[in-house]
């Protein structure tokens, strides 16, 4: 049986989602801005790349996880609307956020501490909702944080966490190799580097690195190639500049503690 060709701009999926433009891509998927012709709204369609083991062995499990993810609701979570995880192509339909990523904003320079504090509260609150539902994000990084335009003139953007739980879906339904590490090397927690199962403290660690990067404009672990670079964080905590002040240094030091049990919960970060 031959797989269907990869969708292109101009194609319509399920007689409903008309692909308008490709707006992003990664190793696992391509993301399109699309028109939902049934409801007359703009959506984001993440088309999973072919060549990764499919979900034929666990369709019920995949559907149950999609149901869980679609039930999560928070202003700082990108909402999952629909999913097609059997047959070809496989894709997810999500809320479209017409704004830049946090990574592109950081590329312009460090963010003001007050703005980072607001982002921290929004993202930690979103993680709390995710964790309370038994989901671990697994890939918290600046490029997965979208900055939605403010509703009021002069307002600041709201942080929206994208791809929450999508790594969980991909890992459980598609990637069946034991010990597969899901996540981006620069933001992996020490226990993930050691091959441990992802848990909420790993998301808190990654959020700590994201906030540190937003405050300084630089990655805490810029060199991520090779086993040695990854193992270095097992013994070397990130450098947190004293110039950030005692409140930030205290919070970020606890969030990025090497031992997961020493980190605060996402809710504690909000508080």
Chain segment 59-84, per-residue pLDDT in tens? 455 566 677 778 888 899 888 899 88
Q: Got the DSSP string for 7-58?
A: P-TT-EETTTEEEEEEEEE-SSEEEEEEEETTTTEEEEEEEEPTTS--STT-
Please tell me the distance from the alpha carbon of residue 54 to that of residue 107, in angstroms, as a whole number: 36
Strand partners, 30: 25, 47
Task: Reply yes or no on whether the pLDDT at 256 is more than 60.
Answer: yes
Cα(171)–Cα(42) distance, integer angstroms: 28
Distance between CA atoms of 174 and 52, rounded to whole angstroms? 7
Strand partners, 135: none
Q: How far apart are CA 39 and CA 222, in angstroms?
A: 43
pLDDT at 218 over 90: yes
Q: Are strands 12-13 and 17-25 parallel, antiparallel or unpaired?
A: antiparallel
- Across-strand partners of 101? 146
252 CB contacts (<8 Å, ≥6 apart)?
208, 211, 212, 238, 240, 244
Catalytic-residue membership of 139: yes
Closest CA to 23 of 44, 5, 50, 8: 44
pLDDT digits (tens, 9 = 90+) for 204-217: 999 999 999 999 99
Q: Which residue has the tokens 């490029």?
A: 143
Q: Which residues, including other chains, have CB under 8 Å from residue 172's CB and lie 6 or more apart?
A: 58, 61, 62, 65
Q: Which of 139, 163, 171, 203 is catalytic?
A: 139
Q: Exposure pattern of 173-196 as b/e (b: 16+ CB <10 Å)?
A: bbeeeeeeebbbbbbbbbbbbeee
Does residue 43 or residue 180 have the better pLDDT?
43
- 146-178 residue pLDDT tens: 999 988 888 889 999 987 655 555 555 444 444
Encoding tokens for residue 201?
Answer: 């403290």
pTM of the model: 0.84
17: closest CA among 45, 50, 55, 53?
45
For the chain, which domains are there?
12-95 (3.30.200.20), 102-270 (1.10.510.10)
């Amino acid at each position: 049986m031959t797989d269907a060709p990869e969708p292109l701009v101009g194609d319509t999926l399920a007689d409903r989602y008309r692909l308008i433009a490709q707006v992003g891509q990664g190793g696992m998927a391509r993301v399109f801005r699309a028109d939902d012709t049934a409801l007359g709204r703009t959506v984001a369609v993440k088309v999973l790349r072919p060549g990764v083991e499919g979900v034929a062995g666990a369709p019920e499990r995949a559907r149950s996880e999609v149901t869980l993810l679609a039930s999560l609701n928070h202003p700082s979570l990108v909402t999952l609307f629909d999913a097609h995880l059997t047959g070809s192509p496989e894709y997810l339909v999500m809320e479209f956020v017409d704004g830049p990523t946090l990574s592109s904003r950081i590329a312009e320079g460090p963010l003001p501490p007050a703005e980072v504090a607001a982002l921290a509260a929004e993202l930690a609150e979103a993680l709390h909702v995710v964790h309370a539902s038994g989901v671990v994000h697994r890939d918290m990084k600046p490029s997965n944080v979208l900055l939605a335009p403010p509703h009021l003139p002069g307002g600041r953007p709201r942080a929206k966490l994208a791809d929450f739980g999508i790594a969980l879906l991909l890992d459980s339904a598609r990637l069946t190799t034991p010990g597969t590490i899901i996540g981006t090397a620069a933001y992996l927690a020490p226990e993930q580097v050691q091959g441990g199962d992802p848990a909420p403290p790993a998301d808190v660690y990654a959020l700590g690195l994201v906030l540190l990067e937003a405050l300084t404009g630089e990655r805490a672990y810029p060199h991520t190639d090779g086993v040695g670079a990854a193992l270095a964080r097992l013994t070397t905590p990130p450098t947190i500049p004293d110039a950030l002040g005692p409140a930030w240094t205290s919070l970020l030091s606890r969030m990025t503690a090497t031992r997961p049990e020493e980190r605060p919960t996402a809710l504690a970060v909000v508080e």
